Structure 1
């Protein structure tokens, strides 16, 4: 009964505020009205504007405005749950320290600390990552399988067509690529022409096309690359960067735990929010 009276009182308050806002607009006056209510907590237009400004959000986007307001509502609910469970208040210093380390605002840092504590208490111990989940994730993530790659020697000559022509003549004459690179290349990797393995998909379109039919030992060039005349020699092809399951097991386990803990927490929080009177009026 008291809950019904409370909700009725809040509804009346909100209606009066909305009428005031409408009247203010009709007279081209800015009224600081209510944009949301969470039980006995009210969010005003000025609160939303301040939060938008703090986040650097575009003031003219209604979609973004709504998203920011929903985050503010969620943060109020999290505070209420956190307090109701008797958890220790987040100190200003604690929030400040996290803010400095992470780059987030002090307000967001405090919210993060409260959510992390609730996640630890409510869902973390309930999330179990099984062997099948680990293997399925490993088998379906291309970064663990490695990528088609080429290992290349490289010569880069900066804005010197005569020098590039001499290098090309020596390469055509069959001189060893490494020797020609040592004499003519303006850029060497640790004193060597060998630039290591490069994923085929990371090559420029021109170089990828030129390398398509080449065999180890073949030379491609001259090509224009960022102000340089470039020559490349294919050393070998292969799948590079593959990582065995045992090497990445802990990494995958941690990633899956975070993923499913967050999903479980968001589900739990959504259920908890349904227990509060929440009104959003934009």
Structure 2
């Protein structure tokens, strides 16, 4: 229970009481609101940020977002907090508020601490919904563009027989045309010891990944057929066994595009807020 509680407290960024041994001082002031050293240390600990400067920057962003939410006139009702608290308790496996209170007390916290942090989280969420999420749109055209690109990135299952001797290559080609399985011919005729023992298997190949003569041969040969090609190193009989085209999961693509746009829009929004915010940093 204690481990679950600590995990959830970290999720909601609860402020632990500062140690009595810490001499408090102001590390930054955001829009007139001071951030104390003890608050910064607790924030870093709760959010598992080992670098205090990185934790400071993250906490400053949080303060800026809260200030903006208030300036936008956004509020969170007690009812909303209570509903979120129920979810909080459900995640932690707490059946009653009394049970939660006892667990919080053991950590030096109160139920009001939890409610206050829940209120802050909801406030920031409302701000992001209004200023960021409302601006993020993914069109069907954007989804189809990615879909076409994914479909075009086909792979071919390729085998080959390599020999430096032209006569040997032609003999192998005759045997293949007679109907002998490619794998058997490769093991007998190929001078490439690595692929020969695997029946000539090279692997799944994408266009443009092989040397030019082989690449041209692979992608100009219909699946199920083989082709003889000469290179500066010798002779290759290329066999394209099959071709696979990647499927197109449009909903997955839409989600990925949305998340990418959301992250970019959120960063731009926070950067703009930082420009107009009054921030003084002392460490």
* Bin of the TM-score, shorter chain as denominator length: 0.3 to 0.5
TM-score scaled by length of structure 1: 0.47
TM-score scaled by length of structure 2: 0.47
